């Protein structure tokens, strides 16, 4: 079956621009997670959705970052006024059950480069 997909696979933007990154989770998965992976580092938790609501957004670095999941399926991570330090691979994962103790299925990621 289809796994988690993320679009675009690569995004190059200029400092100060706005970007949207999309995640299509596995059908039926109620939990959705966003992570950021900087070069040479492990993934860093950003936000967790249970259904349509953000159950935990404690990992978002600042108010330039925002994510939505309006219908409980597809999610969009939005970054305003991008900075060079935002350059990273953004990973999405979904899980059929809530809570990080359950297996998460990861997408291939979106590589964001801010020039």
CA–CA distances in Å: residue 65 to residues 18, 28, 77: 10, 26, 7
Cα separation, 53 vs 113, in Å, equals 28
**In this structure, what DSSP letter does residue 58 have?**
T
Alpha helices, DSSP H, located in 1-115? none
* 16 lies in the binding site for other proteins (CB under 8 A): no
Site string for other proteins, 19-48 (x = CB under 8 A): --------------x------xxxxxx--x
User: In the complex with other proteins, which residue's Cβ is closer, 12 or 16?
Assistant: 12
Query: What are the structure tokens assigned to 113, written together?
Result: 């480069």
* 103 lies in the binding site for other proteins (CB under 8 A): yes
Residue 111 CB, shortest distance to other proteins, in Å, is 11
Residues that bind other proteins (CB under 8 A): 3-4, 33, 40-45, 48, 55-56, 58-59, 91, 93, 99-101, 103-109
């Amino acid at each position: 079956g289809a796994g988690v997909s993320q679009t675009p696979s690569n995004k190059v933007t200029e400092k100060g621009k706005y970007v949207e990154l999309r995640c299509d989770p596995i059908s039926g998965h109620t939990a959705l997670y966003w992570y950021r992976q900087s070069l040479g580092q492990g993934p860093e938790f950003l936000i967790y959705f249970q259904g349509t609501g953000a159950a935990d957004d404690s990992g978002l670095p600042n108010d330039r970052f925002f994510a939505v999941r309006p219908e409980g399926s597809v999610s969009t991570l939005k970054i305003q006024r991008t900075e060079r330090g935002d350059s990273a691979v953004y990973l999405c994962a979904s899980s059929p059950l809530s809570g990080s103790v359950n297996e998460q299925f990861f997408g291939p990621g979106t590589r964001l480069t801010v020039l």
